């Protein structure tokens, strides 16, 4: 079963960390991804540019409406994702819990990918 | 049997269908061929084949063929796997799945009553005063989530066990309280819920000898032992002090006391065991006057230490009032209310009223009784408070 781990971070809080701390966390993050690969759990990973670069498009009465910024104005913003192959939900949650940015605020939404029924 | 089929077939609905088909087959075959030596194993085995058959039929249309291969590959023809000791493990697995934290708490309660206790959707809906279609919907969604998000069907590892066991115990206690609270609804159905909770508690203690499981079972047994004495024939509340203690269920108390002692001796107890210890102090007193308030106050200190909450503080204040006098208890309650806690909690105002009354502060007592009455939604409690208020007038 594949699970997507959607990582939401508080960008303000992240930027406020000293550069040395951020580098150390990202090194740990690299190690976490490496471990997922070694364990055969890793399917995909992507990190997104800052939410301030986001554009949100909607159709209103059939006309294109593009707004600068993410689709919801919240303190925590979607910052990246991983897709992992896991035995069950508990394994996905246990692996998500070890993501190194998690102790620094933010949240990780864990969802199973739909499979052909 | 359902629990075992869920493990073997990996899906609640599939298992329920397969069980129904196995029973149908038994009704046809047993009268003709005789009852098999181990009827349960026969039914499980028949159910498993029916379930796999059904999946094979579906497999022509979809991708679940892999699952069929998985299931038929399992070593499930071994009769030992279908034997009775494996069954008990399956029931425990089922409890952990139904009480998985990925499900909302009211869903955990509904799933446990439906899948572990075997109550019908209609029975659960009437006990919880929700429309049956709403509850049915909740159960359908939960089963879909268990399947689609693959919520595991297993006993958690030692590392996760304490947290997961807490969730199971909380569900059992919620079911018990729903049955025990003298709230609205059909009184008979409510008593049934308490009995189901005690049954679940016994099952847990038997399958997973953890001190807190024993503590919870003791707590439920001790509270339930007072069921007949806590209301009058008309449904009016009788306070602990005024209850006819000869009506208390002695064998149930004896069982509860033994469980509490065992749990306390383990030194790995938690809040349920301590609450049971408080209940056992009441159970051991032959009269209200003989209650050992010193001991009860000490247990509340411990409880506040490991599970601090304003409600525990309030209960402790009531015990202190009994040990050191109403003024000491009232000071603690005023402290809680002054911090802005429990402003809408009826028992806080009722307790304040009671202590003011005992101190002869009639006007304050009346004010607090009125506030408590405003906050009461349970008819017997409202009648009780109004009686107290009119006695002051």
Q: Do A112 and B64 lie within an 8 Å CB cutoff?
A: no
Residue B138: half-sphere exposure toward Cβ, Cα within 13 Å: 23
Which chain A residue's Cα is nearest to B61? Answer: A117
Distance from CA of A95 to the nearest CA of B (A): 14
Top residue of A2, A4, A90 to mutate, by most chain B CBs within 10 Å, is: A90
Exposed, middle or buried: residue B12 (CB in 10 Å: 0-12, 13-18, 19+)? buried
CB of B362 within 8 Å of any CB in chain A? Answer: no
B-chain residues near A87 (CB < 8 A): 150, 152
Q: Let me know: does B89 contact B158? Beta carbons within 8 Å.
A: no
B-chain residues near A112 (CB < 8 A): 148-150
Can you give the pTM of this predicted structure? 0.78
Q: Is B270 helix (H, G, I), strand (E, B) or coil?
A: coil
Top residue of B149, B152, B163 to mutate, by most chain A CBs within 10 Å, is: B149
Distance from CA of A92 to the nearest CA of B (A): 10
Q: Let me know: does A86 contact A1? Beta carbons within 8 Å.
A: yes
**DSSP conformational letter for A48:** P
DSSP β-bridge partners for residue A60: A63
Q: Do B149 and A115 lie within an 8 Å CB cutoff?
A: no
Q: Give me the total of CB pairs closer than 8 Å, taking one residue from chain A and one from chain B.
A: 27
Give me the count of residues in chain A: 117
Distance from CA of A110 to the nearest CA of B (A): 9
Q: Let me know: does B216 contact B279? Beta carbons within 8 Å.
A: no
Interface of B with A in 159-218 (CB under 8 A): 160
Q: Let me know: does A117 contact B64? Beta carbons within 8 Å.
A: yes
Q: What separation in angstroms does the CA of A109 have from each of A71, A117, B144, B252? A: 17, 23, 19, 46
Residue B382: half-sphere exposure toward Cβ, Cα within 13 Å: 9
Of B63, B64, B102, the CB nearest to A89: B102
Go through A48-76 and write b for each residue having 16 or more CB atoms within 10 A of its CB, e for each that does not. eeebeeeeeeeeeeeeeeeeeebeeeeeb
Instruction: Indicate the helix (H) or strand (E) that contains A7.
Output: strand A2-10
Distance from CA of A9 to the nearest CA of B (A): 22
Tokens found for residue B266: 């383990």
Of A88, A111, A112, the CB nearest to B152: A88
Show Cβ contacts of residue B392 under 8 Å, excluding neighbours closer than 6 positions: B357, B362, B365, B366, B369
B-chain residues near A89 (CB < 8 A): 100, 102, 149-152
Q: Do A89 and B150 lie within an 8 Å CB cutoff?
A: yes
Tokens found for residue B313: 């503080």
Q: Do B63 and A1 lie within an 8 Å CB cutoff?
A: no
B-chain residues near A88 (CB < 8 A): 150-152
Residue A82 CA to residue A48 CA, distance in Å, equals 11
**Tens of pLDDT, residues A2-46:** 999 999 998 889 989 999 999 999 999 999 999 999 999 999 999
Radius of gyration of chain B (CA): 25
Q: What separation in angstroms does the CA of B315 have from each of B106, B109, B329, B332? A: 26, 27, 10, 10
So what's the pLDDT on residue B69?
46
Count of Cβ atoms closer than 10 Å to residue B148 Cβ: 16
Percentages helix, strand, coil for chain A, rounded to the nearest 5? 35, 35, 30
A-chain residues near B64 (CB < 8 A): 117
Residue B290 CA to residue B283 CA, distance in Å, equals 11
Going residue by residue through chain B (393 aa), what tens digit of pLDDT does each one get? 888 888 888 788 888 888 888 888 888 888 888 888 888 888 888 888 888 888 777 665 554 445 544 555 444 445 444 555 566 778 889 999 999 999 999 899 999 999 988 888 988 888 777 899 999 999 999 999 999 899 998 888 888 888 899 999 999 998 898 887 644 545 555 778 899 999 999 999 998 889 999 999 999 999 999 988 888 877 788 888 899 999 999 999 999 999 999 999 998 889 999 999 999 999 999 999 999 999 999 999 999 999 899 999 999 999 999 999 999 999 999 999 999 999 999 999 999 999 999 999 999 999 999 999 999 877 888 889 999 999 986
Backbone angles phi, psi at B377, to 5 degrees: -110, -10
ipTM of this complex > 0.90?
no
**Chain A contacts to B (CB-CB under 8 A):** 1, 87-90, 111-112, 114-117
Backbone angles phi, psi at B243, to 5 degrees: -75, 150
The dihedral region occupied by B342, where left means phi > 0, alpha psi between -120 and 50, and beta the remainder, is: left
């Amino acid at each position: 079963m594949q699970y997507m781990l959607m990582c939401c971070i508080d960008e303000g809080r992240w930027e406020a960390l000293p550069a040395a701390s951020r580098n150390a966390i990202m090194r740990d993050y690299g190690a976490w991804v490496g471990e997922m690969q070694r364990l055969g759990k890793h399917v995909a990973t992507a990190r997104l540019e800052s939410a301030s670069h986001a554009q949100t498009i909607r159709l209103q009465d059939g006309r294109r409406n593009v707004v600068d910024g993410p689709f919801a104005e919240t303190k925590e913003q979607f910052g990246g994702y991983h897709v992992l192959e896991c035995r069950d939900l508990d394994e996905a949650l246990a692996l998500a819990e070890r993501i190194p940015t998690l102790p620094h605020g933010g949240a990780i939404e864990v969802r199973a990918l739909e499979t052909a029924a | 049997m359902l629990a075992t089929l869920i493990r073997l077939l990996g899906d609640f609905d599939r298992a329920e269908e397969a069980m129904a088909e196995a029973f149908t087959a038994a009704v046809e075959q047993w009268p003709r061929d005789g009852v098999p030596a181990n009827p349960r194993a026969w039914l499980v085995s028949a159910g498993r084949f029916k379930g796999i058959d059904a999946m094979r039929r579906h497999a022509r249309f979809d991708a679940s063929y892999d699952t069929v291969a998985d299931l038929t590959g399992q070593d499930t023809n071994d009769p030992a796997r279908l034997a009775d000791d494996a069954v008990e493990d399956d029931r425990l697995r089922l409890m952990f799945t139904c009480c998985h934290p990925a499900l909302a708490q009211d869903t955990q309660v509904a799933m446990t009553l439906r899948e572990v206790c075997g109550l019908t959707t209609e029975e659960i809906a009437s006990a919880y005063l929700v429309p049956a279609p709403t509850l049915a919907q909740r159960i359908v969604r939960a089963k879909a989530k268990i399947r689609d998000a693959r919520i595991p069907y297993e006993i958690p590892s030692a590392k996760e066990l304490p947290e997961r066991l807490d969730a199971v115990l909380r569900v059992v206690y919620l079911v018990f309280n729903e049955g025990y609270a003298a709230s609205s609804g059909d009184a008979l159905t409510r008593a049934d819920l308490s009995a189901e909770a005690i049954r679940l508690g016994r099952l847990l203690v038997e399958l997973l000898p953890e001190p807190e499981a024993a503590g919870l079972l003791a707590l439920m047994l001790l509270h339930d032992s007072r069921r007949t004495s806590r209301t009058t024939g008309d449904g009016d509340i009788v306070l602990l002090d005024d209850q006819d203690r000869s009506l208390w269920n002695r064998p149930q108390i004896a069982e509860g006391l033994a469980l509490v002692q065992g749990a306390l001796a383990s030194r790995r107890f938690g809040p349920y065991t301590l609450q049971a210890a408080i209940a056992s102090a009441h159970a051991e007193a032959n009269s209200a006057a003989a209650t050992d308030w010193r001991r009860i106050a000490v247990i509340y200190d411990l409880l506040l230490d490991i599970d601090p909450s304003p409600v525990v503080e309030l209960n402790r204040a009531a015990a202190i009032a009994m040990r050191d006098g109403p003024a000491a208890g009232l000071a603690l309650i005023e402290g809680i209310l002054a911090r802005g806690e429990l402003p809408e909690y009826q028992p806080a105002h009722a307790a304040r009223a009671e202590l003011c009354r005992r101190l002869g502060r009639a006007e304050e007592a009346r004010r607090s009784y009125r506030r408590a009455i405003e906050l009461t939604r349970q008819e017997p409690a409202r009648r009780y408070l109004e009686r107290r208020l009119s006695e002051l007038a």
